[in-house]
Structure 1
Amino acid sequence: MSSTTNLPYAPETWPIASAMIHRQNALPDGRTVQDQRPEEWAEALAEVAGAGFSHVDPTDSWIRIADLEPSRLAEFMDVARSLGLSIPAISTARRSVIDPEKGDEFLAYGHRLVDTAAKIGASAVSFGFFGPLSDAQKKALWFWTAPGVVNPDDPAVWKMAVERIRELGRHAGENGVEVALEMYEDTYLGTADSAVRFVTEVDLANVKLNCDLGNLVRLHRPVEGWQSMMAKLAPFAGYWHAKNYYRLEDETTGTVMSSPAPMEFGVINYRAAVRMALQAGFRSAFLLEHYGGDGLSVCAANRDYLRRILRATSVATA
């Protein structure tokens, strides 16, 4: 019997969330989204609902819901529910628990995030080891084409990373929350082999990998093929940031170029990748991201494409 039988959701109800990366935390009037009134939050979230989403990840590059006072968190959740939006998971960005200056602060934040996820009924939290954008990345059209923070080749720092994620993972497990570790270049999760080694060392059933292959295939350098990476990652797949890229390689010059693409048109074949994950036991939510242009509308089209894949998989295993 195929392991894709007995899936936890029907294709039409599988949690597929929109990220909020199309919105900035800093506002033109000097405030941040943290300071906004509920009706202002409603304006942003209504866009997501209007694009046909019933799930949203508040994405802490937009708002840090774990740092809202209890009454403000209640207001935020009231706004989301009033628009028919639920929160299946929460993603962190550039708040690494091994940051050389703020690692302790971000670890404490991670624990608050786990508590917040449990409080609001979110099933997963995504963490990564990527740092703040460098000056070169801030100036670039596509930030991934410029060098950024690199995790140190230091066994002591690797060990600390494992121990801190295990600490968060145990806390999350006590609350029925999954931890997903985001693939990202030049970090301890920057290749499939390194990511599998890392999650294996953490060795907790609720700590999985966020198989964000898009973060790797967009790099202007040689990378392992997505099929090979996915075969290694699938048994560990958890909450999944899904996006795609066009990738061009000139073998004669070594030139590599990339740009964002709708999921069905990019270099990653998500029909095959999703099937691989489901066959290996993937049962978590998806998050859709897209950089450039009208990212929300592209994510809405990606949602429909992903549901078509889930429907086809459901029929094939019925």
Structure 2
Amino acid sequence: MPYSAEEWPIAAALLQFSATDSQGRHVNDADASHWHRVFTEVRDAGFRDVDLTDGWVKPGDLSAARLDEFKRTARDVGLGMPSLSAIRRSVIDTEHGEDNLAYSHRTLEAAAELGCEVVSVGLHQALTPEQQKQLWFWTVEGHKDPTGDRDTWNLAVKRLQELGRRAEELGLLMSLEMYEDTYLGTADSAVALVEDIGLPNVGLNPDIGNLIRLHRPIEPWQQMMEKTLPYANYWHVKNYSRDEDVARDQYIAMPAPLEFGLISYRKAFEIALAHGFQGVICTEHYGGDGLSVSNTNQRYLREQILPRTSDYELGQSRVRQGGKR
């Protein structure tokens, strides 16, 4: 049976949590009590599930003993871990691609050990020094994948296929996060990439919030959704207010709760369900009390958007979906 609103897995992103503790140690090396505090904060904010965003703990770099300790800590707090998002570790980075590929393999292994359903990866790379100086890093252009370079495209396909096959062996879905100026930076390119990879457990994370926030012309959001949602198997959801003055070539965007931004998630989920989407949802928000806004987004989805009961008509996805745990 399809998910109803109440039982749908909606996980909190961990964007607001630092990768170092109060002693200046990376949180991978912190005492388990530090992990416990973060997990408790997420639970007390209103979440049953957490997305293991690796800007915080990097599960793929934990020893077997520490990974088990990490798993027990989340279980003790009462949080599920249905998803893991590995960010800014592009497998086609010209300098770090092979290392990132090895890291991605370790991350898949760790995710399977933790009982995750899906791992999200992408082709976006580390923020540039200039991006790090900005209030909103997306207002300055960062790395760009080379346009029209078939060798680099084919390398992306080859390495993501390798990861996808390993994910399949581990019983995991793999999802490719959309992000500007990469081969996942437009709806058409993202669909072409997932089709070239051609594995049933590899789909898209249609995080078009990463695209509508850009201070430049963009493809209409509904058009992007209609192209990508047939391939979606996991979903980072966030929203932005956006203003355009095309005559002056001026574009402004700022973070907004789901129900107040440019994207109508009511329409987006209508499209998603028509194409069989049953993936884990991860709520994100940049700025302010992002965790609380993420929970506001969760409540909006459960109370206003997702189907109240499971007896609705569900369309057919072009990739494999998750299921009730």
Q: Secondary structure at the match of 2:244?
A: strand
Q: Is the 8 A contact 1:263 1:302 kept in 2?
A: yes
Root-mean-square deviation (Å): 1.4
Runs of 4+ in 1 over 6 A off after TM superposition: none
Q: Is the 8 A contact 1:118 1:175 kept in 2?
A: yes
**Structure 1 residue aligned with 2:138, among 138, 144, 147?**
144
**Structure 1 residue aligned with 2:302, among 304, 307, 312?**
307
Does residue 164 (structure 1) correspond to residue 198 (structure 2)? The answer is: no
Q: Percent identity?
A: 50
Does residue 122 (structure 1) correspond to residue 116 (structure 2)? The answer is: yes
Does residue 248 (structure 1) correspond to residue 243 (structure 2)? The answer is: yes
1:317 shift after superposition: 4.8
Distance in 1 of aligned mates of 2:58 and 2:209: 24
Q: Is the 8 A contact 1:128 1:181 kept in 2?
A: yes
Figure out how many residues of one structure are paired with residues of the other and give that number: 312
1:155 shift after superposition: 1.0
Amino acid at match of 1:13: E
Q: Deviations over 1:136-181 (max 9, x none)?
A: 1100000000110111122101100000001100111122211100
> 1:274-313, aligned counterparts within 5 Å?
274-308=269-303, 309-312=305-308
1:30 shift after superposition: 2.2
> CA 1:286–1:221 in structure 2 vs 1: closer, same or farther (change >3 Å)?
same
Alignment-derived partner of residue 221 in structure 1? 216
Q: Is the 8 A contact 2:241 2:261 kept in 1?
A: yes
Alignment-derived partner of residue 11 in structure 1? 5
Alignment-derived partner of residue 55 in structure 1? 49
* TM-score, normalising length: structure 1: 0.95
* TM-score, normalising length: structure 2: 0.93
Distance in 2 of aligned mates of 1:231 and 1:254: 27
Amino acid at match of 2:84: I
Alignment-derived partner of residue 3 in structure 1? none
Q: Deviations over 1:234-287 (max 9, x none)?
A: 110111111000000113212100000000100000011012111101111011
Q: Is the 8 A contact 1:275 1:313 kept in 2?
A: no
Q: Is the 8 A contact 2:6 2:308 kept in 1?
A: no
Q: Is the 8 A contact 1:19 1:56 kept in 2?
A: yes
Q: Secondary structure at the match of 2:251?
A: strand
